Amino acid sequence: MDINTIRNQFPVLDQQVYGKPLVYLDNAATTQKPLCVIEREREYYLHENCNIHRGVHYLSQKATEAYEHARQTVADFIHAKESREVVFTRGTTESLNLLATSFEHHIINEGDKVLVTAIEHHSNLVPWQQMIQRHHGKLLVVPMDDNGVLDLDCYEELLKESPKIVSIAHISNVLGTVNPVKEMIGMAHQSGIPVVIDGAQSIAHHAIDVQDLDCDFFVFSGHKMYAPMGIGGLYGKTEWLKKLPPYQFGGEMVDTVSFEKTTFNVLPFKFEAGTPNVGAALGLETAVQFLQSLDRGEVERYEAQLLLSAIQKLSEIEGIRFIGEAEQRSGLVSFIIDGIHPYDLGTIIDKMGVAVRTGHHCAEPVMTRFGIPGTVRASFALYNTMEEVDIFVNAVKRAAMMLR
């Protein structure tokens, strides 16, 4: 893996902020986009732009073919059985809202339960919470220990309360914990309970095989895996997607319409009402091809080294407290330093050119669990370097000295 060749594909990284070279460590929020992805979207708007599925003319057919090809590429990437198991959405949040709404209309009855965990992003919490509250039901929450590891004994007990669905993050966006999702899916399936995996933080870092995981649904965002914003996906097993009712209504998702009655289109179109973001879907396909062009095992090992180095070097700082110390961690490190507000630290290192995220990271219950207002979070991508890790750690050390 030649890091310089890779970095050359990300011109945005090659800039100065406040007179310092940019060190971009906010990849869990969104990754930068390689030239090939930007070019693909540009190419679409320059030469191929057209509404899809509805036209008999050349451009429309070409755009339709390209869009459906992108769906197949994404399906292969996550090892789905068929391309119709992949629904294009705006991203993880929309995919989860789609599922919560469809479950509400088909599966959920008064007083039912949904199971999530204590580490969820608001996107995998609030849609379920709001939905279940409308039915006077209950949200079951798997607790975690002080290291940010889920309590699987408790999970087993909560499954006995027969939730209608389980929805869990593959990797925590605050703690970096890699949850044992395969095992958790197996446990839920023993009781016939379907499982959603929130893959927002895993898909860019690890190869995903939905058949091997045996998850019923897998949701993700393109913009966190080098693709454009406004595109993402929902994978669902065919049997589930067939069963669930549509989420939004309008053009494209219908079969026949009269004033009395509407019948719905086949999969996956039933879940894609209205004109989709075709250009972004093509950009997502190119991002997938970009990842496929690399040795993903090597990328995984490289990113693990970046993380390990950051953790080891940060550990030297007096008063540092890591938030999330699970053995299985990936992609990011979160921490606070005694007596220093995360926001102040983040603001000062920004002036040194280092971009990290501070705050609750859309996971307020995690902050409450640890009794903190927020953390500083550094998250890594395949274009980051060991030198950047050093610049980051030195910036944190200097900022801590200034703020004490």
Alpha-carbon dihedral sign for residues 52, 36, 300, 303:
negative
Backbone angles phi, psi at 398, to 5 degrees: -65, -45
Sheet holding 113-117, edge to edge: 86-89, 232-236, 217-221, 195-198, 165-169, 113-117, 138-142
Instruction: Give the nearer residue to ligand PLP in terms of CB position, either 121 or 206.
Output: 121
| Marked catalytic residue, from 36, 50, 154, 362 | 362
Backbone angles phi, psi at 339, to 5 degrees: 75, 5
- In the complex, the smallest distance separating the C-beta of residue 12 from ligand PLP, rounded to whole angstroms, is 19
- In the complex, the smallest distance separating the C-beta of residue 32 from ligand PLP, rounded to whole angstroms, is 15
Alpha-carbon dihedral sign for residues 109, 167, 371, 391:
negative
- In the complex, the smallest distance separating the C-beta of residue 360 from ligand PLP, rounded to whole angstroms, is 12
- In the complex, the smallest distance separating the C-beta of residue 291 from ligand PLP, rounded to whole angstroms, is 17
Instruction: Give the nearer residue to ligand PLP in terms of CB position, either 91 or 374.
Output: 91
Instruction: Give the nearer residue to ligand PLP in terms of CB position, either 32 or 93.
Output: 93
Contacts of 42 (CB under 8 A, 6+ apart): none
Instruction: Give the nearer residue to ligand PLP in terms of CB position, either 227 or 352.
Output: 227
3-state secondary structure of 274: coil
Q: How many residues does the chain have?
A: 404
Instruction: Give the nearer residue to ligand PLP in terms of CB position, either 178 or 391.
Output: 178
Contact (Cβ atoms closer than 8 angstroms) between residue 238 and residue 215: no
Identify the CA nearest to 145 among candidates 367, 369, 347: 369
**Residue 362 known to be catalytic:** yes
- In the complex, the smallest distance separating the C-beta of residue 361 from ligand PLP, rounded to whole angstroms, is 7
Q: What angle do CA 244, 85, 243 make, to 5 degrees?
A: 15
Q: Which residues bind ligand PLP (CB under 6 A)?
A: 91-93, 121, 123-124, 169, 173, 198, 200-201, 221
Question: Could you give the residue numbers annotated as active site?
Answer: 362
